[in-house]
Amino acid sequence: MSDKNHLPYEGIRVVEFTHMVMGPTCGMILADLGAEVIKVEPIDGDKTRNLLGSGAGFFPMFNRNKKSIAVDMKTPAGLELVRKLVATADVISENFKPGTMAKLGLDYETLKTTNSQLIYVSHKGFLPGPYDHRTALDEVVQMMGGLAYMTGPEDRPLRAGSSVNDIMGGVFGAIGVMAALRQRELTGEGQEIQSSLFENNVFLVGQHMMQYAVTGNAAKPMPSRISAWAIYDVFEVAEGEKIFLAVVTDTQWKIFCDVFGFVDLYADPNLKLNNQRVQARPTLIPEIKKRLAGFTAKEITAIFETNGLPFAPITRPEQLFDDPHLMATGGLAPITLTDGPRAGSQTTTPLMPLMMNGKRLGVRLNPPKAGEQTNDILGELGYSADQMQKLSSDGVVA
């Protein structure tokens, strides 16, 4: 196999003690990039597997390409085998409450004494400081970090419709691991990485903080913001359909007016420049909405696509399984569900939004069943068949 067919982190072993979204996202990224990621689960499996409602998709989305070992770490035998496993790791990833790993002797300060090359990434609610004792959730930091304020209407904060801080916090954790692996190549030493929800959220709203710094005016929530562009809105058209349309340059304004025959609008000297049109939004947008009301979304889509104008259908997440672009470009990969009411059924899952050597980073392993690779991993650690059987019968592993 040529070098270009190798994934970049082949040969790197990650042992993760994670649940929910943030930590698993970090592990998924490293696994997609070729690392061997071993998920250490409780004897009865990660409770994330059995969440309902909006949590039902967490486990299958963020745990592909991983192996699973299920072990009771509250038993001396279980903790011993986990420590043996940890001793083989390049990277440890965890997202438990502060102090949890230290009680088990699995914190960075303890482990680095016997493995100076270890890279240890902790995913927390807050970086060290006055808030770090608090319990954080994605919605908590969205509320206290300005994102919910920016998303909802005025006086009605609204969380974003995805676990944006959990996911991005995991992404930054993975970036930290990648940087630490590179630094280890240069220095021979590992290090501890910390990634957090709150600071991630502040990074996301940094553009609005800088808007205030530059203009002296506080940013308004998105539903009532002053747009940077005149036409940048959702329009209701024929048959009650909705479509997002944007005209963000003076060149696009000319094209827009030409293709729809809005000669009078283009001739208006008060609408020549984008900033003029932004100031005219209170009257311009209602006028455009009235003129487009007779067109179907399909007709507008064809016109905008043909003329290179920005547009978007209003799509629900479940409709993306049939998105022609994702299907044609390999953006969705097949997996088998391991938990929930549809366990064993086939579906597809979104891949990371990047290509390497012209290829998407695919699914090599389905999200694992709890303890699916327990015996394989114990065998690698030197446990005999009889020892494995005893650990299983004693309820130490599953």
Q: Active-site positions? A: 166
Location of structure tokens 């676990």? 163
Sheet arrangement for strand 311-313: 231-236, 242-247, 311-313
In a 13 Å sphere around the CA of 140, the CA atoms on its Cβ side amount to: 13
> How far is 326 from 320, CA to CA, in rounded Å?
8
> How far is 394 from 18, CA to CA, in rounded Å?
24
Encoding tokens for residue 278? 């932004």
Spatial contact of 351 and 362, defined as CB atoms under 8 Å apart = yes
Q: CB under 8 Å, gap of 24 or more: what pairs does 143-151 form?
A: 144/198, 145/198, 145/201, 145/202, 145/204, 145/205, 146/201, 146/202, 146/205, 146/208, 146/209, 147/201, 147/204, 147/205, 149/221, 150/205, 150/208, 150/219, 150/221, 150/222, 151/221, 151/222
Spatial contact of 8 and 29, defined as CB atoms under 8 Å apart = no
> How far is 63 from 368, CA to CA, in rounded Å?
7
Encoding tokens for residue 311? 């547009």
Specify the 3-state DSSP secondary structure of 211. Answer: helix
Phi-psi region of 164 (alpha: psi -120 to 50; beta: other; left: phi over 0): alpha
